[in-house]
Amino acid sequence: MPRFFLEAIGDGAAQITGEDARHIARVLHMQAGRELTVSDTKGTDYLCRILSAAPEAVTVEVISSKPCAAEPGARISLYQAMPKSDKLEFIIQKAVELGACEITPVITSRCISRPGNRAMDRKLERWQRIAFEAAKQCGRGIIPKVNPLLEYEDALAKMAAAELAVLLYEESRLPLSEALTPSPKSAALMVGSEGGFSQAEALAATEKGIAVASLGGRILRCETAPICALSVLLYHLGEL
């Protein structure tokens, strides 16, 4: 069933405008009587019936509502050290598909990519659009946020506020599966860039109370590691 996001929706009628209205009317050719799903971006899905459809505006009536089944029970945050090239675009897309609520790029000592403020503004706009499109495609009930770039120490401070916080470090002897705690309401994972983390950075995480764990004996690419870590976490939470 077609799915759209609309913040202003309640128990009565609502109106979809802009690009989504044009898509409904001109691309999907949906007319009065057809049903679609509208999410309020806060985790609630509304089953709606079209009352009228035009490229300028589509008016719908709400039939029923329920919590979005695609949202995990825990709030999951991914902290990703800045990789080279456009790898972060792939990471954002897959993290959203796997249930992350937010993605935060981080500058670490081994990051080669270090975009300036103007470049980051352009990248953030594109990254947020990727998150939006991924959320629509996979049936999310929220639009995960891509946060501005953080320095490593600032990222650790934010991570430490989560019930479960884990930094993935290839030299750790603690498997990720053993670092996970039962039923956390919030979880934060940090993954390194191409060069991983330094020993000093791993120690700094430990001093903040953040678990330092490994994804096994294989060295994963920086775009593979977050997908692996999120999948392990979701399985642990009973979401897979």
| Per-block mean pLDDT, blocks of 10 residues, the chain (240 long) | 87 90 95 95 94 95 94 96 95 98 96 85 95 94 96 97 97 95 96 95 97 94 96 94
Q: What is the pLDDT of residue 50?
A: 96
Domain definitions of the chain by residue range? 3-67, 75-236
Q: What is the pLDDT of residue 13?
A: 86
Superfamily name with CATH number, domain 3-67: Hypothetical PUA domain-like; domain 1 (2.40.240.20)
Q: What is the pLDDT of residue 1?
A: 83
Rounded Cα gap, residues 64 and 155, in angstroms = 40
For tokens 């069933």, the residue is 1
Kindly give the pairing relationship between strand 57-67 and strand 44-53: antiparallel
Q: What is the pLDDT of residue 43?
A: 93
Q: What is the pLDDT of residue 7?
A: 87
**Is there a common fold for 3-67 and 75-236?**
no
Q: What is the pLDDT of residue 24?
A: 96
Q: What is the pLDDT of residue 9?
A: 85
Kindly give the pairing relationship between strand 35-39 and strand 75-81: unpaired
Tell which residue, 34, 35, 31, 38, has the closest CA to residue 15. 38
Domain 75-236 has CATH 2.60.40.1180: no
- Whole-prediction pTM: 0.91
